[in-house]
Amino acid sequence: MRQMIVAGNWKMNGTIDETESLINDLLAGNSKNDKVKVVVCPPYTALLTASKLLDGSHISLGAQDMSEHEKGAFTGEISPRMLLTVGAGFVILGHSERRQYHAETDKLVNAKVKLALSTGLTPIICVGELLSEREEGLTEVVVGAQVAGTLSGLTAADLKRVVIAYEPVWAIGTGKTATPKMAQEVHAFIREKLAVIDKAAAEVVPILYGGSVKPDNAERLHRQPDIDGSLVGGASLKADDFIAIINAV
Query: Binding of ligand 13P at residue 232 (CB under 6 A)?
Result: yes
Query: Binding of ligand 13P at residue 173 (CB under 6 A)?
Result: yes
Residue nearest to ligand 13P according to CB distances in the complex: 233
Total residues at the site for ligand 13P (CB under 6 A)?
Answer: 14
- 144 or 233, CB closer to ligand 13P? 233
- Secondary structure (3-state) at 90: strand
Interaction mask 39-78, ligand 13P, x per CB under 6 A: ----------------------------------------
Query: Binding of ligand 13P at residue 210 (CB under 6 A)?
Result: yes
In sequence order, which ranges of the chain are alpha helices (DSSP H)? 16-28, 47-54, 80-85, 96-101, 106-119, 131-135, 139-150, 156-159, 180-197, 199-204, 215-222, 239-248
In sequence order, which ranges of 80-198 are alpha helices (DSSP H)? 80-85, 96-101, 106-119, 131-135, 139-150, 156-159, 180-197
- 195 or 237, CB closer to ligand 13P? 237
Query: Binding of ligand 13P at residue 248 (CB under 6 A)?
Result: no
State how far the alpha carbon of 163 is from the alpha carbons of 20, 45, 46, 201, 231, in Å. 27, 24, 23, 11, 11
Output the smallest distance, CB 71 to ligand 13P, in A: 27
Q: Which of 212, 228, 244, 249 binds ligand 13P (CB under 6 A)?
A: 212
Q: How far apart are CA 95 and CA 92, in angstroms?
A: 7
List residues with catalytic annotation.
95, 167
Which residues bind to ligand 13P, rule: CB under 6 A? 9, 95, 167, 172-173, 210-213, 231-235
